[in-house]
Structure 1
């Protein structure tokens, strides 16, 4: 099983936006309310968990963007 990157690859951003040109992708993302950051080469970067939530129709928040919360339980050690 191959692990996926934490961010979408260029082809995935192109598939979502319908554009290959980064400036058009940026316009689409901004016009559709997507959060993104830009690389030094002015290419948009979108988080994978964020994209999954957006595509599922869920408004991403810090609460639902966490895949799994856990705590270290040392109560049985010893």
Structure 2
């Protein structure tokens, strides 16, 4: 099973850089969302990377569909 964040090797493959400062610059220049670990390593979520690369449809990955409209509504016109 894969981790939820990209590994060091995957991040190096994605950015083309092994040095963390260059990886952060590459990600910032392309408006990628990431956070930094205490050691300064950029952490990129796997699902975000898939969506950014066009590998996952954003609507498919949304686990919370909009609420279903009720088939009927109560009539409160006669309530005092």
Unaligned runs of at least 5 residues, structure 1: 71-78
The TM-score, its normalising length taken from structure 1, stands at 0.72
- Which residue of 1 is the match for residue 35 of structure 2? 37
Larger Rg: 2
* Aligned equivalent of 2:22, options 21, 24, 28: 24
Unaligned runs of at least 5 residues, structure 2: 66-80
| Structure 1 segment 1-78 matched on structure 2, within 5 A | 3-56=1-54, 65-66=61-62, 68-69=63-64
- Which residue of 2 is the match for residue 75 of structure 1? none
The TM-score, its normalising length taken from structure 2, stands at 0.70
CA distance in 2: counterparts of 1:52 and 1:16, whole angstroms: 11
Instruction: Point out 4+ residue stretches in structure 1 off by more than 4 angstroms.
Output: 57-60
Q: CA RMSD of the aligned region, Å?
A: 2.5
